[in-house]
Every structure is written in C-alpha cells, then in structure tokens.
Amino acid sequence: MLTLADDLGHLSYTVTGDGSPVVLLHAGVADHHMWDAVAPALAERHTVICYDLRGFGASAPPTGPFSEVEDLRRLLDHLGHERVQLVGASWGGRVAVDFTLTHPDHVRSLTVLAPPWPGYDWSAEMITYDEAETEALAAGDLDTAVGVNLDMWLRGPNRDWDDVAPELADRLRGPVRTSLVNQDALAEHSRGGSDGDIAAITVPTLVGIGRLDVADFQDIARRYAARIPAATVVEFPDAAHLIAVDAPTELLAALRAFLLN
C-alpha cells in the first residue's frame, strides 16, 4: 500500500485503474480489503481509490484531534483529484455523506450502503449487541468482542452461520480486531462529522439495502432515500450489513449502471 503521512500518523491507500475517480470507503468493522471482490472490476473503467480510515487496517490510529472528512479531502488533494464519486459502506457511508455535505463541489455522485443515522433510536436488538461488546471489552476478552461483531455484522440476525462462507469470517476477523483495539483513540480524537441537512444533497445518490441486515439499518437506508432528493434504492436480497462482502456481483452490477463515466 501507499502511505500519506501527516502530524497524526498516516493513511494507507491503493490506487488502481484509469478513468473517472471513484473512492471506496469501508465499514467500521472492516478495512479496504472489504472491496477486494469489487474494486478490480471497477478499475476496468475508473481510477479506484481504496484507503483505510484512520485507525483501521494499515492506517495508524490518531494521536490527536482529526476529521475523517478532512482526511479524505487531504488524500484527494494529494492525489490531484478535484471531483470524485464516493461509495461508502456503513460508517464509510456516513463519512461519504458528511464529505458531500461539507464539500459538495467535489462530489459527482454518492453511493451509501447501510449507513448509520446520527441520533437514531436504536432497537432492543442493537442495544443488546452493544452491551455484549462493551461487557467483553471491559473484561479484556477481545476474542469474544470480535465474535459479537462478526455475529451481528457478517452473519446478521436473519440467517445461520451455515449460510455464510467460512472464509468471510476469517477475512474479517483481523480488521474487526484492529477496529476494536483502536476504538477508544478514535472516540477520543474524532471531531465528528457534518451537521448539515442531507436534503441539501443534490448529486445522484444510490442507497443500498441488505435485506438480511438488522431492521434498524434497513429503516435508516429508507430514511436516507426518502430525504435525499436525487436518491434511488437498490435492495440486495442475499446480503446482510456488509453488502460488498455478501453480494459483490450484484453490487458491481448496480454500480456499473449507476456510476458516471
């Protein structure tokens, strides 16, 4: 991977392909490898930029206050890209939304796959998940905390582990562990995102919903689609929260039809 160093550490990234630039932003329980089944095909038509958010994957955890939006802006300035198309999964989707609100002139299109909604009134199912993760981390049981996250975000509430390819859990276990190890530093130093109204987003927007995902995130995705004027919805019947991992072929077809040349 390539590295962009700064006073807080560094961001690790890859650039492949040629054409109009597309940035892929990973979920908060993953790293840039979650796009491995999607990025090479996109690179046949686009310049594809994948990077690890600060504190995830190979990017160093922050040592002081930082903004994920400004991290992305700094990376794009470094690469010389004035306008890009953003594709964000889960937390990466919210970063993409915040970037679009903060720097609207730098975004050509927006794709969000199961993004969170600030201040959402979470269900009992989500609260139970959070309590289980918190309890495991408080006990110093990182393996159990990793398992709790894999169970919620990879398997999901609507299928058995027998329905999930075993190699997917193996691929995600390391990135989940890294995210948990660094989450306190991220919580301490993150300056948060935009407080802008998503109704102000005017670029073409694609909202992806995994039909096997937690009900909260299916509801949230529909909120985004209803509030963003130029949004359309694509549902993925065989995907839980991590659509790019569960349904890369279907996602690739949707992106090819949606992304601008």
Cα–chain center distance at 151: 18
Confidence (pLDDT) at 130: 97
Sheet holding 84-89, edge to edge: 2-6, 9-16, 46-51, 20-25, 84-89, 107-113, 205-210, 231-236
Q: pLDDT (tens digit, 9 = 90+) per residue, 10-65?
A: 999 999 999 999 999 999 999 999 999 999 999 999 999 999 999 999 999 999 99
As a whole number of angstroms, the distance between CA 136 and CA 33 comes to 26
As a whole number of angstroms, the distance between CA 41 and CA 22 comes to 12
Q: Examine the pLDDT at 192 and tell me if it is beyond 90.
A: no
DSSP string, 183-226: HHHHHHHB-------GGG--S-EEEEEETTS-HHHHHHHHHHHH
As a whole number of angstroms, the distance between CA 29 and CA 233 comes to 23
DSSP label at residue 238: T
Compute CA distances 7 → 4, 17, 54, 60, whole Å: 10, 30, 12, 11
What three-state secondary structure class fits 128? helix
Q: How confident is residue 99, by pLDDT bands cut at 50, 70 and 90?
A: very high
Domains of the chain: 2-120+190-258 (3.40.50.1820), 124-188 (no CATH)
What three-state secondary structure class fits 103? coil
C-beta neighbour count of 119 within 10 angstroms: 5
Confidence (pLDDT) at 195: 87
Cβ(92)–Cβ(26) below 8 Å: yes
Q: What is the mean pLDDT of residues 116-124?
A: 97
Whole-model pTM over 0.75: yes
